[in-house]
A = this chain, B = another copy of it.
Amino acid sequence: MRITRTIAETRAILHDERALHHTIGLVPTMGAFHEGHLSLMRQARSDCDCVVVSLFVNPTQFVPGEDLERYPRDFDRDADLAEQVGANVLFAPAAEEVYPEGYQTYVEVEELTKGLCGRFRPGHFRGVTTVVLKLLNMVNPHKAYFGEKDYQQLKVIERMARDLNLGVEIVAMPIVREPDGLAISSRNDYLSPQERGAALVVPRSLTEAQKVLQSGQRAAAALRQAVEACFAGEGMARLQYVEVVDAETLEPLEVVERPARLAVAALVGQTRLIDNCPLRP
């Protein structure tokens, strides 16, 4: 596996790969690799000739007051893991390589970023779309891999790729969970042992809402109430939002009568966790 720090050296490697008619897969990450990231890399390994993993803790997607400084970083461990799953290139640029002096261009997907996490993290998705567009332009992959754990992010990036005629295939990968159901996230490491137990209310609330749907109750209000009832019984966790939205447009639904998504954000202690699941009518 090659470790690159600059756009120029990364492009030089990929130029040679393209000359061999190799397909290129990109897995954009902020590091702190866990099974979620590794599942994306394994899929890219199986789909593509050349797997590029980017590792960049992107400052523009952190809202003031968020955890940019304490975001977990362990480059040597990440490099070992990426190598083990067969990545060909680990591209880990410095902030000045990505945002040189005078940088001033930003991309926004307007409607899809208004609700859900966009309401609580103003500017977050603008940072995400901007850095993802830049990484796609640097690497120019055939496919790029994103997890459904960040469901709104996935839909925003799919929309950007279509709207801007990027010609890349966005591959969505399912949420990876711990054996007890908690969706794997780099931010789970922030949880104390007691908070880690309390955090299980998040996946449990989704399962409860799915049971309510399966019982024949398709009103979004009833599904949201099932989630709220779970959180009412867990003092260490606070629900930030629960929404039933169209699976593609992310518009709030009153009734689940087409493919929908149930999305939840919660604060467990100081740690913000998100999770979601499909709702099939």
A215 contacts partner chain B, Cβ-Cβ < 8 Å: no
Contact of A134 among B11, B102, B140, B165 (CB under 8 A): B165
- The segment from A48-56, A64-72, A106-114, A252-260 found at the interface with B is A106-114
Contacts of A111 in B (CB 8 A): 104
Q: Return the CB mask of A162-199 against B: 1 if under 8 Å, else 0.
A: 01111100000000000000000000000000000000
Contacts of A109 in B (CB 8 A): 104-105
Contact of A104 among B105, B134, B140, B159 (CB under 8 A): B159
Q: Which residue of B lies closest to A112 (CB)?
A: B104
Contact B107 A165 (CB under 8 A): no
A160 contacts partner chain B, Cβ-Cβ < 8 Å: yes
Say how many copies of this protein the assembly contains: 2
Contact A107 B104 (CB under 8 A): no
How many residues does chain A have at the interface if contact means C-beta atoms less than 8 Å apart? Answer: 27
Q: Return the CB mask of A147-167 against B: 1 if under 8 Å, else 0.
A: 000000000000110011111
Contacts of A166 in B (CB 8 A): 137
Contact A107 B110 (CB under 8 A): no
With the chains together, A167 CA to B107 CA distance in Å? Answer: 17
B-contacting residues, A75-118, CB 8 Å: 102-112
Contact of A110 among B105, B110, B160, B249 (CB under 8 A): B105
With the chains together, A134 CA to B104 CA distance in Å? Answer: 18
With the chains together, A105 CA to B110 CA distance in Å? Answer: 6
* 4 nearest A-B pairs in the assembled complex, by CB-CB distance: A105-B163, A137-B165, A104-B110, A104-B111
Can you give 24 A-B contacts (C-beta < 8 A)?
A7-B165, A102-B159, A102-B249, A103-B163, A104-B109, A104-B110, A104-B111, A104-B112, A104-B159, A104-B163, A105-B110, A105-B129, A105-B160, A105-B163, A105-B164, A106-B108, A106-B110, A107-B164, A134-B163, A134-B164, A137-B164, A137-B165, A137-B167, A140-B167
Known: A134-B164, A137-B164, A137-B165. 19 other contacts (CB 8 A): A7-B165, A11-B167, A102-B159, A102-B249, A104-B111, A104-B112, A105-B107, A105-B108, A105-B109, A105-B160, A105-B163, A106-B108, A107-B108, A107-B164, A133-B164, A134-B163, A137-B166, A138-B165, A140-B167
